[in-house]
Amino acid sequence: MLAIASDHGGLGLKNIIGEWLAQRGIDYEDMGTFNEESVDYPDYGVLVAKAVLEGRAERGILVCGTGIGMSIVANKFPGIRAALVHDEFTAKMAGEHNNANILVLGGRVLEASHACELVQIWLNTPFAGGRHQRRLDKIAALEEE
């Protein structure tokens, strides 16, 4: 199951991604926001990060205007590997090399069809392990310091 959320700047794209997921039978929980009223992205980034950390979601998707704010928020949580992606290569590497458990997108940066392609790439790219696991282990050790 995926957890998805956005602020007002990512609402439109988040809703399109939700429809795209539903059309493909991918289970997800929409954690907000649900209207265009201005909200603070940290309030929604934390919901998805905690859902992933607590095992209520396997992975998450966050959307704000640029994706930068949501990336910063999500990566404050030890164990979260949130990757801001903007093209096919970064979406693939987020999965293959970084085993990102949260994908972050910019609602004011990406066209909806392109964003959905990036979600598909990320969802379908297996983690390569090996030297990449060693690197993630080093990040996990830093989180424990």
Query: What is the per-residue pLDDT for 78?
Result: 98
Cα separation of 35 and 49, whole Å? 21
Query: What is the per-residue pLDDT for 88?
Result: 99
Query: What is the per-residue pLDDT for 33?
Result: 98
Report the 10 Å Cβ neighbour count for 46. 16
Cα separation of 11 and 49, whole Å? 18
Query: What is the per-residue pLDDT for 37?
Result: 98
Instruction: Provide the domain limits for residue 105.
Output: 2-144
Number of domains in the chain: 1
Query: What is the per-residue pLDDT for 25?
Result: 98
45 three-class SS: helix
Query: What is the per-residue pLDDT for 53?
Result: 99
Query: What is the per-residue pLDDT for 110?
Result: 98
Q: What are phi and psi of 121, to 5 degrees?
A: -60, -50
Query: What is the per-residue pLDDT for 116?
Result: 99
Instruction: Give catalytic residue positions.
Output: 64, 97
Residues contacting residue 68 through CB under 8 Å, at least 6 positions apart = 84, 106
Cα separation of 59 and 27, whole Å? 11
Query: What is the per-residue pLDDT for 39?
Result: 98
Query: What is the per-residue pLDDT for 52?
Result: 99
CATH of the domain at 28: 3.40.1400.10
Under-50 pLDDT residues of the chain: none
> Residue 127 has what DSSP assignment?
-
Query: What is the per-residue pLDDT for 71?
Result: 99
